[in-house]
Structure 1
Amino acid sequence: MDFKYNKIMIIDDDEIDNYLVKVLIKNNKIAEQILEFNSGLDAIKYLEENKEIEENLPEVILLDLYMPLMDGMEFVKAFDSLNLNVSGKCKICVVSGSVDDNDILKTKNTNNIFSYTTKPITVDFLESL
């Protein structure tokens, strides 16, 4: 069975959530490689360093909204400023424990955010990407 994606990036400061998502991705052959970051800042550094190497970029970014240092929306602003030359290759999916309508509305009004889901992530959600 082929993988759905080559690379998925997980950005979440919760190690337990990261572990569970990695298991779902691996067991269901969603992505061949998983890039994991506990901080939006570290993820932005990786993307900046690899922005000219398309095969190093993830097709999907699973982004937590609430993190210390750089929250999800700050990550999206920094991501926008990278000017990645991959037109739509990196789809950002916000994954949050929040069911606050304002959070959902904020993400729906942001260009680079492809979808929004609440935690915990399910296999059905990953397969629907």
Structure 2
Amino acid sequence: MVIDDNEFDCYITARLVSNTNLASEVLEFNSGEVALQYLVENQNDLTMLPELIFLDIYMPLMDGFDFINMFRLLPDEVTNHCEICIVSTTVDDFHIHKAKIDESIRLFTSKPITVEFLESLSTN
């Protein structure tokens, strides 16, 4: 799953994930609200849920950290199934530190995402 309000960044990340065969299907969402709604609607069917969520920090209405706070309220089966990877252009030390100490976040990487980064995910 890719959640990014920038349609171009969302598209590029989704294509790279597909091209590196990291996932057989990539879900694309341009808002955290819609992505969260998808997770809620499919929470009883783990086969419909992503194993990895690429999440942008800076988005209108619901930013990445707001999404994570709402994500934590989902059942353990969902939160244990889906890992979050922050993908952001931020240079704000506070946001970077916050992302790195948050146990809900598996990884943090800067945009643009790279093939090498994605390949490292498949080996870990």
TM range (shorter): over 0.9
- Change over 3 Å in CA distance of 1:79–1:23 after alignment to 2: same
Within the candidate set 8, 32, 36, 1:16 is matched to 8
- Indicate conservation of the 8 Å contact 2:22/2:118, yes or no: yes
- Structure 2 residue 114 is matched with structure 1 residue 122: yes
- Change over 3 Å in CA distance of 1:49–1:24 after alignment to 2: same
Larger helix fraction of residues: 2
Which region of structure 1 is more displaced relative to structure 2, 19-28 or 96-105? 19-28
- Change over 3 Å in CA distance of 1:53–1:80 after alignment to 2: same
Distance between the aligned counterparts of 2:79 and 2:30, measured in 1? 26
Structure 2: runs of 5+ lacking an equivalent? none
Which residue type is aligned with residue 81 of structure 2?
K
- Structure 2 residue 110 is matched with structure 1 residue 112: no
1:28 Cα deviation from its structure 2 partner: 1.6
Provide TM-score, normalisation by structure 1.
0.89
Correspondence for 2:73: 81
Which region of structure 1 is more displaced relative to structure 2, 89-98 or 77-86? 77-86
- Indicate conservation of the 8 Å contact 1:93/1:115, yes or no: yes
Which region of structure 1 is more displaced relative to structure 2, 40-49 or 105-114? 105-114
Which region of structure 1 is more displaced relative to structure 2, 108-117 or 31-40? 108-117
Q: Which 4+ stretches in 1 moved above 4 angstroms?
A: none
Count of aligned pairs: 121
Provide TM-score, normalisation by structure 2.
0.92
Identity over aligned residues, as a percent?
A: 50
- Structure 2 residue 22 is matched with structure 1 residue 30: yes
Correspondence for 1:45: 37
RMSD across aligned positions (CA):
1.2
Distance between the aligned counterparts of 2:6 and 2:78, measured in 1? 29
Correspondence for 2:54: 62
- SS of structure 2 residue aligned to 1:105: helix
- Indicate conservation of the 8 Å contact 2:89/2:110, yes or no: yes
